[in-house]
Structure 1
Amino acid sequence: MSFLDLLKKNLDQIKINQLYRSIPSISAHAKKYISLNGSVYLNLSSNNYLGLADNEHLKKAAIFAIEKFGCSSTASRLVSGNFDIYNKLESTIAQFKHTQKALVLNTGYVANLTLLQSLAKDAVVFSDRLNHASIVDGILLSGAKFHRYAHCDIEMLEKLLKKETSNKIIVTDTIFSMDGDAAPLKEIVKLAKQYEAFVIVDEAHATGIFGEGRGYAYQECVSSDIDCHMGTFSKALGSFGAYIASSELVIDYLINNARGFIFSTALPPAVIAANLASINYVRKNPQLGKNLLSISDNIRQFLKKLGFDVGNSVSQIIPVILKTNDITLKSQKLLLEKGVFVGAIRPPTVPKNTSRLRISLRADLDENDLKLIKDAFVHLGNAL
């Protein structure tokens, strides 16, 4: 069997298992309603949680930066790819997150990968089993010994911490991307103090929403007890890229050791300008996230009454757990019939037998949108 024959065999098996993926052709992507295959749907599948991807303040900032700086940074930050607005953005992030310093990286995936590759190599890492793939890949790339504790299982985490005497790092998402539930940060911080562990949190799906936009750690009043905060601009903040906020020591260490930072061309100036505008917008409108969480609770309670399994969601991400791939794909089509586009999530993105619809709500939904969502899920409940 040739190598290409092997690839075809593997791809055919993916199709048989109903796990085949293709890239949809979508227009008006940043809008609340999108066009897919010639039809218009309410988009409940993006991470544009605050609707800022189409915000006029962000667009004007990006356009101004293009006119002033051009389309590219043209080099890595350590060579000649650094402008004043990069420094201003990092200073603003540090103030926003109440840390000494911050560093901007090109994506959330790169941020986690390079952060853990740099910091974990001389430590034992303790990672929640449902952490994002970029966290797992970063740990693997570091070569560190690591333990994956059962999802949000504090008792298991403590048992594992007791067994190790080396430097310890605990890393967790704060809001989990496929379940919409929250990490027990207060308990994690307590264990970290007891067992002298360094704590890293991924606030990708909490930034801009929880804690007046500062994140779930801030809302839980443990932000100052977290050693390293990672967050993204590509979700609620409506732009692109990621940040790491921490102490001056940690950030300086990363600048000198983080390969994903050192060997990458810096983000385009237009993106940096939009990122800065998005943080300032959220700072001036801290109620946006609270409003979104109120909308989310409304929909979550409605789905529960219909008998759907929404797990332990406490956020704008609501899973409708349907278990099998075929029912999940069928359900996605039934919602499309009612004008609602929801992502169908299957393994390996989620564990086996937990295939689901992932509802991703946004702050600019109005009463008509909410009625459309509810009517669509009544239709789905009656059809299943």
Structure 2
Amino acid sequence: MTKLFEPTKLGDISIANRIVMAPLTRNRSPNAVPNDLNVKYYAQRATAGLIITEATAITHQGQGYANVPGLYSKEALDGWKKVTDAVHANGGKIVVQMWHVGRISHTTLQPNGGKPVSSTSRRAENSKTYLVNGDGTGGFTDVSEPRALETSEIPGIIEDYRKAARAAIDAGFDGVEIHGANGYLIDQFLRGDINDRTDQYGGSIENRTRFLFEVVDAVSKEVGAGRTAIRISPVTPSGDASDPAPQQLFTRVVEGLAKYGLAYIHVVEGQTGGKRDFLPFDYDALHAAYKAAGGKAGWMLNNAYTREMAIEAVDSGKADVVAFGKPFISNPDLVRRLKENAPLAQWDQTTLYGGGAKGYDDYPTLDQAA
């Protein structure tokens, strides 16, 4: 038997197996409030060792797409409590991915129609956001021009992360994952090709990583490092993210993270949702640098893993856990299917974003399909 199906512990979170449901934006929470459809969807997938929720905005300002959930209203937190209760009732564990999109947003989604905020005032030229029209249909459109955060505003954003983390734990989540990947706000500070600041948050790698470490520090002190995790994507181009020296940048990131007793570090290999070899990057060296710096958090790998790749990664020690994304959409019992080496159902590409039950909570399990 492979270790993939054995229990383990990620910080303070004990999990039944090493198969993780990756965060998947589905745009099915109108008004940023989780609903009964979301409850059913997550409960169906509770056999995952760990569920990471879809990205969830820490504030109204952090919203970047229509009908994604939030962590900043009583209604949203009450909705999430129903989700966490249902997952726990089915024997699962669930953490929320805390999100601030930064410049990957649109003025119509922002408080009072304001500009999205970022490390920069430059627009992400090749990025889209998802909006819903007056007739209820959805579609993708160009993001709006952002404004650069004033230095004096940054402590308030860090406080927003802290408050959202506390709210999440109070809503029954087993932990929180800070979204530091895919060209969103934290990544906008990290990347040398985005961050054009001249204050203490821009310029050198030390300065560009400052915001990330301040967020991790605030969140881990509030809810415990053993319930805090982070996601990074060293070379993904999402949100026009790029950097002249990603290996050097993310080595500094993981070396800095090593001093925290985090639950796990979630690493997207290659292009998020795309090519694993998008750009040259030595992920084994990144893991080695983290361990050499004394880091002991779980090491989670993600992006287009097959059953065979996941088994090899965990058995070899390359990863402690492996996250699967789209296969969990169309295979609510993915853990069983992987264990039995059963065929995997294909997801319906046309129902990924927005809509209702179709392509969301109606995919059959093996028993239902028989």
| TM-score where L is the length of structure 2 | 0.28
Say which one has the larger Rg: 1
Identify which of structures 1 and 2 has the higher relative contact order when contacts are C-alpha pairs closer than 8 Å and 6+ apart: 1
Greater helix proportion:
1
TM-score (norm 1): 0.27
